[in-house]
């Protein structure tokens, strides 16, 4: 199988949880909101192994960007997300990417530059993963409302449901 952007998007949306989360992201009411990381590329691996698209997904990572870097502001978004996604029965991890530099050094033992967008975090993850020879498919970010940020300058749009379109 050749993994094209369209194929990746189709496989990612075969996981009904991914489809539900992306459909609801606009309701979270935050800027630059994206579904990203393992829940996307796990669907590809599962397809290759003939397994259900959602099998083995530990959690669903949502990035957003808010210049209010207070703990209280991020906690309020996390609580809204818990209410928004509670019926899905999965762990949705929501993180304000504007705050990463505040906690990263303590957690990982090295500094992290201040980010100016959620997309910048995806691009940094993509650069790291490409360097470490992990598939760059793992860095695809699904943005709200209905956009897939695949690499700099390329955005694929998706409707409110799980039907795909490749309009750039």
Per residue in 46-69, pLDDT (tens digit) is 998 999 999 999 999 998 999 999
Task: Determine the pLDDT at residue 37.
Answer: 79
> Measured in Å, how far apart are the chain's first and last C-alpha atoms?
23
Task: Determine the pLDDT at residue 132.
Answer: 30
Residue pair 32/118 in contact by the 8 Å Cβ criterion: yes
Query: Residue 95's closest CA among 67, 50, 137, 64?
Result: 64
Task: Determine the pLDDT at residue 98.
Answer: 93
Task: Determine the pLDDT at residue 36.
Answer: 86
Instruction: Write the CB contacts of 60 (distance below 8 Å, at least 6 apart in sequence).
Output: 17, 18, 21, 35, 39, 85, 90, 91, 92, 93
Task: Determine the pLDDT at residue 94.
Answer: 95
Task: Determine the pLDDT at residue 156.
Answer: 44
Residues of the chain with pLDDT under 50: 127-140, 143-168
Task: Determine the pLDDT at residue 74.
Answer: 97
Task: Determine the pLDDT at residue 34.
Answer: 86
Task: Determine the pLDDT at residue 167.
Answer: 32
């Amino acid at each position: 199988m050749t993994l094209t952007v369209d194929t990746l998007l189709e496989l990612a949306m075969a996981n009904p949880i991914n489809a539900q989360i992306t459909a609801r992201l606009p309701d979270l009411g935050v800027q630059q909101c994206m579904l990203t990381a393992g829940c996307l590329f796990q669907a590809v691996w599962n397809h290759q192994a003939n397994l259900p698209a959602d099998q083995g997904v530990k959690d669903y990572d949502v990035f957003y960007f808010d210049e209010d870097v207070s703990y209280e502001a991020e906690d309020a978004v996390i609580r809204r997300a818990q209410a928004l996604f509670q019926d899905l029965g999965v762990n949705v991890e929501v993180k304000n990417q504007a705050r990463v530099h505040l906690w990263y050094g303590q957690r990982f033992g090295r500094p992290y530059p201040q980010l100016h967008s959620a997309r910048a975090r995806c691009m940094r993850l993509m650069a790291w993963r490409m360097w470490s020879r992990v598939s760059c498919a793992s860095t695809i970010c699904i943005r709200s409302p209905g956009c897939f940020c695949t690499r700099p300058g390329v955005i694929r749009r998706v409707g409110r449901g799980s039907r795909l379109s490749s309009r750039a």
